[in-house]
């Protein structure tokens, strides 16, 4: 029964995509013939909606009869958290979807000719209905509090994106420059900056000089207007400060599948298409350390604290009688014992602090590790500078390589940590093997970026690994020692 439900889930999703594609194809064909969409396209649209309803019904059945026993039936957090997340995602998505249907008019159902002279929300984004529907499966999965359904729902994101791309290709062929201009003024799923900004002054508001770009050539002030609605000011801030847009995707793809290519491209001057290296690292490390902090309650230290046998053994060691030393031995080892006693007390004090408050211990280590990485990455770049001293590259280029490499390492750890956070042990064990790919990734990155042969790269990889491994070991020891001392 459970596997039949899973098959129905995949089959209904496939039928929805198939019928959706056929309806879009009919729409494009009607544009080519400059006529109204035929009845078949309308039927395909209705069938796609029916397939979507069947898909959500299979969600309900899967909740009652789960198939994958190694995946938890519910999230580890409280149910109210899932409901809150569903509301946060679902309410804006529903508003965008409904707004898209209202502004589209009858063509949202009958698929009439939609020209580039769009209205309402279509003046900012081209696919608001798809954006709203794309979030609907995830909302349903969160309401059901099912990890598997939530993961499965993420597959709808590339599916809807592909359908919209197919539609746009046809519109580009049929409407030509008119639709291309419409694309340039609007965003695919997210509004373009030019679509929401009001007309800016021609003269600098600070010094009055005539402006010829984003910044004043006299005083350097940015040409922007803060006297705008709050939503536009918020969008301006998110765009300028966070800038997590399509460039982040263009950055992650080569970072993952093309070792060294991102650094080489960035150093070569092709920077506009990518997120800056430090910002990439900060985003990935922020998500990683946040996830590690959230899983600290299930850390080994907390389990050790609650383990009765371990606590009884510790107590037995602490209360065990100590053998007495003779006068000569005590005199000879007085200084050593004095140092050992102080060090032992320091270790015991730090250990008790960790066992009494394991969450504070883990959070402190994470915080100091995150801070220390900003020292390790320049040291890694310095090692590269020494190994490739004849390459003619500046230190900053080695530093960019170092930042990209550490971003990949953290991204790998992030994927593994996410599976453990979701409590998927089988998948977590398999993904743990990704750690073994890091040396291979580093070798391929060095070979592509520095353009040396197999043996020079292999030898320098080993020298780099030994040197950086020693530095990293000292770094970890200093973090642990700081917990004992401070």
Sign of CA dihedral 208, 209, 210, 211: negative
Confidence category of residue 229, pLDDT binned at 50, 70, 90: low
pLDDT, tens digit, for every residue of 47-106?
Answer: 888 888 888 888 888 888 877 776 777 777 778 888 888 899 889 888 888 888 887 765
Question: What is the DSSP code string of 238-303?
Answer: IIIII--SHHHHHHHHHHHHSTTHHHHHHHTT--TTS--HHHHHHHHHHHHHHHHHHTGGGSHHHH
Q: What angle do CA 213, 245, 229 make, to 5 degrees?
A: 65
* Cβ pair 52, 121 in contact under 8 A: no
Is-above-0.85 flag for pTM?
A: no
Confidence category of residue 404, pLDDT binned at 50, 70, 90: very high
- What is the structure's pLDDT at 97? 85
Q: Which residues pair with 187 in a beta bridge?
A: 125
Q: Which residues pair with 215 in a beta bridge?
A: 222
pLDDT, tens digit, for every residue of 336-366?
Answer: 555 556 667 666 676 676 666 666 777 777 7
Q: Which of 35-39, 131-135, 176-180, 323-327 has the highest average model confidence (pLDDT)?
A: 131-135
Sign of CA dihedral 197, 201, 202, 204: negative
Q: Point out the least confidently predicted range of 23-37, 86-100, 201-215, 454-468.
A: 23-37
Report the candidate in 308, 293, 20, 322 with the shortest Cα–Cα distance to residue 163: 20
Distance CA(136)–CA(154), nearest Å, equals 10
Distance CA(318)–CA(314), nearest Å, equals 6
- What is the structure's pLDDT at 5? 82
Confidence category of residue 451, pLDDT binned at 50, 70, 90: very high
Report the candidate in 142, 144, 246 with the shortest Cα–Cα distance to residue 192: 246
Does the structure show a pLDDT above 90 at 131? no
pLDDT, tens digit, for every residue of 165-208?
Answer: 877 877 777 777 777 777 777 777 776 654 444 455 677 878 88
Print burial letters for 454-481: b (CB count within 10 Å at least 16), e (below 16): eeebeebbeebeebbeebeeebeeebee
Higher pLDDT, 60 or 229: 60
In the chain, % helix, strand, coil (3-state, to 5) comes to: 75, 0, 25
CA 72 to chain centre: 23
- What is the structure's pLDDT at 399? 94
Higher pLDDT, 400 or 248: 400
- What is the structure's pLDDT at 383? 95
Q: Which residues pair with 210 in a beta bridge?
A: 203
Q: What tokens appear for 238 in the block? A: 């998110």
* Cβ pair 402, 384 in contact under 8 A: yes
- CB atoms closer than 10 angstroms to residue 405: 25
CA 266 to chain centre: 21
Confidence category of residue 111, pLDDT binned at 50, 70, 90: very low
Percent of the chain whose pLDDT exceeds 90: 18
Does the structure show a pLDDT above 60 at 452? yes
> Residue 433 has what DSSP assignment?
G
Q: What tokens appear for 381 in the block? A: 């770049």
Confidence category of residue 486, pLDDT binned at 50, 70, 90: low
Q: What is the mean pLDDT of residues 204-226?
A: 75
First CA to last CA distance, the chain: 58
- CB atoms closer than 10 angstroms to residue 322: 5
- What is the structure's pLDDT at 116? 40
Residue 203 sits at φ, ψ, to 5 deg, of -115, 150
Does the structure show a pLDDT above 90 at 470? yes
CA 284 to chain centre: 6
Domains of the chain: 2-194 (1.20.120), 197-239 (no CATH), 251-296+359-485 (no CATH)
Q: What is the mean pLDDT of residues 4-29?
A: 78
> Residue 186 has what DSSP assignment?
S
- What is the structure's pLDDT at 196? 43
Distance CA(24)–CA(60), nearest Å, equals 29
* Cβ pair 350, 482 in contact under 8 A: no
Q: Point out the least confidently predicted range of 119-128, 170-179, 236-245, 386-395.
A: 236-245
Print burial letters for 21-34: b (CB count within 10 Å at least 16), e (below 16): bbbbbbbbbbbeee
Q: Point out the least confidently predicted range of 147-151, 218-222, 469-473.
A: 218-222
Percent of the chain whose pLDDT exceeds 70: 70
- What is the structure's pLDDT at 410? 93
Distance CA(172)–CA(167), nearest Å, equals 9
Q: How far is CA 482 from CA 58, 174, 343, in A?
A: 53, 67, 13
Residue 222 sits at φ, ψ, to 5 deg, of -75, 140
Token look-up 């359904």 returns 149
- What is the structure's pLDDT at 376? 93
Print burial letters for 71-91: b (CB count within 10 Å at least 16), e (below 16): bbeebeeeeeebeebbeeebe
- CB atoms closer than 10 angstroms to residue 59: 20
Higher pLDDT, 211 or 384: 384
């Amino acid at each position: 029964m459970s596997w039949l439900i899973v098959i129905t889930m995949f089959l209904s999703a496939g039928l929805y995509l198939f019928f959706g594609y056929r309806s879009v194809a009919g729409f494009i064909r009607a544009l080519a013939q400059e006529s109204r969409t035929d009845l078949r396209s309308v039927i395909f649209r209705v069938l796609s909606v029916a397939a979507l309803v069947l898909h959500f019904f299979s969600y309900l059945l899967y909740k009652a009869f789960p198939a994958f026993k190694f995946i938890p039936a519910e999230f580890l957090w409280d149910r109210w958290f899932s409901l809150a997340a569903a509301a946060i995602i679902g309410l804006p998505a529903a508003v965008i979807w409904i707004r898209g249907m209202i502004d589209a008019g009858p063509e949202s159902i009958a698929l009439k000719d939609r020209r580039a002279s769009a209205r309402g929300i279509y003046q900012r984004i081209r696919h608001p209905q798809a954006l709203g529907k794309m979030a609907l499966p995830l909302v349903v999965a969160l309401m059901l509090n099912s990890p598997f359904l939530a993961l499965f729902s993420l597959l709808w994101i590339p599916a809807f994106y592909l359908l919209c791309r197919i539609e746009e290709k046809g519109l580009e062929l049929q409407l030509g420059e008119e639709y291309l201009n419409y694309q340039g003024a609007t965003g695919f799923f997210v509004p373009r900056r030019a679509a929401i900004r009001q007309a800016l002054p021609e003269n600098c508001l600070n010094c009055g000089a005539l402006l010829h770009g984003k910044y004043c050539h006299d005083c350097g002030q940015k040409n922007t207007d803060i006297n705008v609605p709050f939503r536009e000011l918020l969008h301006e801030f998110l765009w300028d400060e966070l800038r997590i847009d399509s460039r982040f995707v263009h950055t992650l793809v080569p970072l993952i599948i093309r070792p060294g290519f991102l650094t080489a491209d960035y150093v070569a001057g092709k920077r506009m298409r990518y997120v800056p290296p430090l910002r990439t690292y900060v985003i990935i490390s922020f998500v990683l350390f946040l996830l590690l902090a959230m899983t600290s309650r299930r850390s080994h230290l907390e389990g050790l604290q609650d383990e009765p046998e371990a606590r009884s053994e510790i107590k037995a060691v602490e209360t065990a009688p100590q053998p007495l030393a003779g006068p000569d031995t005590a005199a000879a080892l007085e200084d050593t014992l004095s140092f050992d006693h102080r060090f032992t007390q320091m270790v015991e004090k730090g250990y008790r602090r960790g066992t009494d408050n394991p969450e504070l211990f883990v959070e402190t280590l994470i915080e100091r590790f995150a801070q220390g990485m900003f020292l390790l990455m320049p040291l890694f770049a310095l090692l590269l500078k020494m190994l490739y001293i004849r390459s003619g590259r500046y230190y900053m280029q080695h530093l960019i390589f170092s930042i990209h490499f550490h971003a990949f390492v953290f991204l790998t750890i992030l994927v593994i940590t996410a599976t453990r956070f979701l409590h998927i042990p089988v998948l977590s064990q398999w993904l743990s093997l990704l750690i073994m790919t890091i040396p291979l990734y580093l070798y391929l990155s060095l070979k592509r970026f520095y353009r040396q042969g197999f043996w020079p790269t292999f030898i320098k990889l080993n020298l780099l690994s030994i040197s950086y491994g020693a530095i990293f070991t000292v770094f970890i020891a200093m973090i642990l020692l700081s917990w004992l001392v401070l």
